[in-house]
Structure 1
Amino acid sequence: MHAPLMSLTWTDHLTGRRGFLVVDRLVRGVASGGLRMRPGCTPEEVAGLARGMTMKEALHYDPEGHPASRYIPLGGAKGGIDCDPRDPDAYGLLVRYLRAMRPYVESFWTTGEDLGLTQDLVDRAAAEAGLVSSIQAVYPLLDDEAEARRRLADAFALRVDGIGLDELVGGCGVAESVLTALDRAGVPYSGTRVALQGLGTMGGATARFLTRTGLTVVAVADIKGTISNPDGLDVEELLAARDAYGTVDRAVLRPGDRELPGEAWLSADVEVLVPAAVSYAIDTGNQERVTARWIVEAANMPVLPTAEEPLSARGVTVLPDVVVNSATNAWWWWTLFGDIGADAEEAFAHVRSSMRALVDRVLARAEADGTTPRTAAHALAADRLPVIAERFGWYR
């Protein structure tokens, strides 16, 4: 694993809180990766996420792909701020961070929402910090900047069942990852049970797509604890009762719904676990509680490497974050570069076909090599990165 191109730490002059930026790699002079805000965020965490972004970009690049494809991968980067997003100082801190990072955002770092932040909030803070856009560094690579920006704005304005398209495409990709794994294993959707940690943007959309495909969500966890019902939860009701942070109002629970401790989702009697909230959720101390057949990483880095080894040894398949949650990032660029238009059905169709092909390729590689899906995904990325470097440059 190579060292990142750039890593920096910023200290806020008003609060003393720290923010970080890691640029893992530039491709065509640009790197892509979101900005997260959470208490306890570290430079090591941000570096791991930046490396993951490099791999996500590489995995969505097919060197022998369709000649009409316009999206060419970028490098990987990530930003992080050590602060609780609910803190009264959080928004001012975000604005000052972006003001300090303005030269990098203007020049080579395209960013957007991640854990703890919404795109609306990032956009508002970016404007206040004097930025044209949080993704303005990519504009010089576009054939028609005005048309591309209009197309992306139109796509962000689309709503499906009252929810923004941008909040749904990532969960669509996670759900398709689950379905691809089930299909390869010959497991029917009906009767397959799911537990999720996190009912925010990614977890909520994943739950919606999975239930609409016939799977049964029996447990969800938020900051208040786990809501469980072995007969299945009313996902739509729970989603409608969330606050801005993905916390469910318990007043909507039905008589058969039970409130359990926060970690109860982990040991739920299910086939599929979807950690869709924080990093490092599954460690060596709690991995033994997992009875699911699959762990599907909707969050970034939720399974520690030291936990994945014993999980794999007892037959639990971990579908890695660099594959599973990559659809949101890819959708931005497919739309901006013009591979798809500002159309929800076209977006979902492209996400489904692309994610199904990618997950299938990763699982096939894992079977052929006798490795884990994560090792297989890393191997595929390693195959593609030199090709990307040869064709578009490699700055590190």
Structure 2
Amino acid sequence: MATGSAVASHDPKNDEFNPFLSMQDGFDTAADFLGLEGGVRDVLSMPDRELTVNVPVLMDDGTVRVFTGYRVQHNTLRGPSKGGIRFSPDVNLDEVRALSAWMTWKCSVVNVPFGGGKGGVICDPRTMSNGELERLTRRYTAAILDIIGPDRDVPAPDMNTNDQTMAWIMDTYSMHQRKTTTAVVTGKPLSIGGSRGRREATGRGVMISANEALKMIGKRPEDTRVVVQGSGNVGGLGAMLLHREGYKITSISDMYGYLVNDRGLDMPAVLAHLNANRTLEGYKEAEYATDGKAQLELDCDALVPAATENQITSENADRIKAKLIVEGANGPTTAIASQMLAARGVTIVPDILANAGGVTVSYFEWVQDRMGYFWTEEIVNSRLEQIMVTSFAEVRETAEKYKVDLRTGAYILSIGRVASVYRMRGLFS
């Protein structure tokens, strides 16, 4: 095991729901297979930088509230930090640390020249007006201004943030720089330097990963019943793309409940209903239930957890019926649950591969912004598919070489690449 790592020795069972410890478990397993020397292990397991900021915001009622925000830069050996910013009441530092590390491994596994970063603000955007969210975003941006930039750290949307949020960040940064700097964030509106295909990119990556996984296990899309947890840019758009590929989507959820129809859902109609009503409830062509946890245990061939972390755990892993899991969210399966499922022969396409479509097209956006020339959506999608198919093959080959599952294979591949760069660059002193 690692010596002097960022996390002290622990009981994995007691700490199952700590996402940073789950990430560390995967890291340590891969580091053991790679035979990483202690110093390299310590460097790669620790974040480069962690910033905690207090963000005062003038609320609509005239009061001032102070929100806590974070930005963690895990690693910049291969390039600028890259990773989203989430607004949620559940944000905490260990979560942001884990997500930033997963971004390092994700960027490496698809071989784009970024390191990992992540940010978050503890707030409940559902209770805040658009004006309050704008003031929060701009003040948070000002607080982290010294550590972000096109060559340093490039934020992107994440949970409860979107292209408008990125526009506010870009504008705030640009005002301080006294010049328009579009490449400081990705996931922007097209009119200010966004990339075609970015909104669908994570869901498209999930679809491509599912296609490659089916080839590996000898199934066809038209014979595959899929349960999708989540209906946002990853779950909803991913389900739509899977539907177009011929998969039968039998269930999809939002934050309030889920729809189920064993004959298959008409995804265009489902998403039209969701867009019109902001909830899946009331859709007439399927049953609706509110016990979200039960959705994961529905009978299906493939499960796409595309909501948030710690959804498949030691408490429900034995009741998961899917033989294929394609992780659309970051860290949806705890380390213990992943081991339990692997022992049952369940194939898991890990998050750092399956949902890497988003960061891949974010890289495309960053490149386009820096050269001032923008690609067609067909070019974006073609290049994304090429990278995702190649990366899946490389992860599979690594897993077969070391006789491990796809998750461990992905960690071995990605960590090995970062460690190689560290040894090549050497230690500055």
| TM-score, scaled relative to structure 1 | 0.84
Give the alignment of 1:15-54 within 5 angstroms.
15-27=65-77, 30-54=80-104
Shift of 1:321: 0.9
Shift of 1:196: 0.8
Which of the numbers 158, 162, 168 marks the counterpart of 1:114? Answer: 158
* 1:9 to 1:319, Cα distance in 2 relative to 1, 3 A: same
Q: Which residue of structure 2 aligns with residue 325 of structure 1?
A: 355
Counterpart contact for 2:72–2:118, Cα < 8 Å: yes
CA distance in 1, matches of 2:194, 2:87: 25
Secondary structure in structure 2 of the residue aligned to 1:232:
coil
Counterpart contact for 1:283–1:304, Cα < 8 Å: yes
Q: Which residue of structure 1 aligns with residue 221 of structure 2?
A: 189
Counterpart contact for 2:72–2:100, Cα < 8 Å: yes
Shift of 1:221: 1.2
Deviations 1:229-255 (A, max 9, x none): 0000111111122249x943433332x
| TM-score, scaled relative to structure 2 | 0.78
Q: Which residue of structure 2 aligns with residue 65 of structure 1?
A: none
CA distance in 2, matches of 1:364, 1:276: 26
Give the alignment of 1:108-147 within 5 angstroms.
108-128=152-172, 130=175, 132-133=180-181, 135-136=183-184
Shift of 1:121: 2.0
Shift of 1:219: 0.5
Counterpart contact for 2:69–2:122, Cα < 8 Å: yes
Give the alignment of 1:368-379 within 5 angstroms.
368-379=401-412
Counterpart contact for 1:49–1:78, Cα < 8 Å: yes
* 1:377 to 1:258, Cα distance in 2 relative to 1, 3 A: same
Counterpart contact for 2:240–2:268, Cα < 8 Å: yes
Shift of 1:43: 0.7
Q: Which residue of structure 2 aligns with residue 345 of structure 1?
A: 378
* 1:393 to 1:347, Cα distance in 2 relative to 1, 3 A: farther
CA distance in 2, matches of 1:34, 1:155: 15
Counterpart contact for 2:257–2:288, Cα < 8 Å: no
Q: Which residue of structure 1 aligns with residue 311 of structure 2?
A: 281
Secondary structure in structure 2 of the residue aligned to 1:358:
helix
Give the alignment of 1:1-396 within 5 angstroms.
1-13=44-56, 14-27=64-77, 30-61=80-111, 73-88=113-128, 89-106=132-149, 108-128=152-172, 130=175, 132-133=180-181, 135-136=183-184, 153=192, 156=195, 158=196, 165-243=197-275, 247-254=278-285, 256-337=286-367, 341-389=374-422
Deviations 1:124-149 (A, max 9, x none): 244246454574389xxxxxxxxxx9
Secondary structure in structure 2 of the residue aligned to 1:241:
helix
Secondary structure in structure 2 of the residue aligned to 1:111:
strand
Shift of 1:31: 1.3
CA distance in 1, matches of 2:156, 2:46: 24
Shift of 1:334: 2.7
CA distance in 2, matches of 1:90, 1:293: 41
Counterpart code for 2:120: G
Shift of 1:378: 0.8
CA distance in 1, matches of 2:407, 2:273: 35
Structure 2: gaps (5+ residues): 1-43, 57-63
Counterpart contact for 2:83–2:155, Cα < 8 Å: yes
Deviates more, 1:386-395 or 1:202-211: 386-395
Counterpart contact for 2:281–2:288, Cα < 8 Å: no
Shift of 1:34: 1.1
Deviations 1:24-51 (A, max 9, x none): 1113662111111111111111111111
Counterpart contact for 1:33–1:112, Cα < 8 Å: yes
Counterpart contact for 1:193–1:217, Cα < 8 Å: yes
Counterpart contact for 2:167–2:189, Cα < 8 Å: no
* 1:393 to 1:19, Cα distance in 2 relative to 1, 3 A: farther
Deviations 1:224-277 (A, max 9, x none): 111100000111111122249x943433332x4443521232011111111111
CA distance in 2, matches of 1:150, 1:114: 15
Deviates more, 1:115-124 or 1:173-182: 115-124
Deviations 1:324-356 (A, max 9, x none): 111111112234425995211111111122111
Deviations 1:168-217 (A, max 9, x none): 12111110001100011110111201111110011111111111111000
* 1:334 to 1:390, Cα distance in 2 relative to 1, 3 A: farther
CA distance in 1, matches of 2:327, 2:412: 18
Count of aligned pairs: 367
Shift of 1:91: 3.8
Deviations 1:72-91 (A, max 9, x none): 60221111111122121544
Shift of 1:357: 1.6
Counterpart code for 2:83: G
Q: Which residue of structure 2 aligns with residue 143 of structure 1?
A: none
State the percentage of identical aligned residues: 27
Counterpart contact for 2:105–2:411, Cα < 8 Å: yes
Shift of 1:112: 1.2
Shift of 1:150: 12
* 1:110 to 1:126, Cα distance in 2 relative to 1, 3 A: same
CA distance in 2, matches of 1:309, 1:75: 27
* 1:348 to 1:188, Cα distance in 2 relative to 1, 3 A: same
Secondary structure in structure 1 of the residue aligned to 2:156:
coil
Counterpart code for 1:366: A
Counterpart code for 2:355: N
Counterpart code for 2:279: V
Counterpart code for 1:327: G
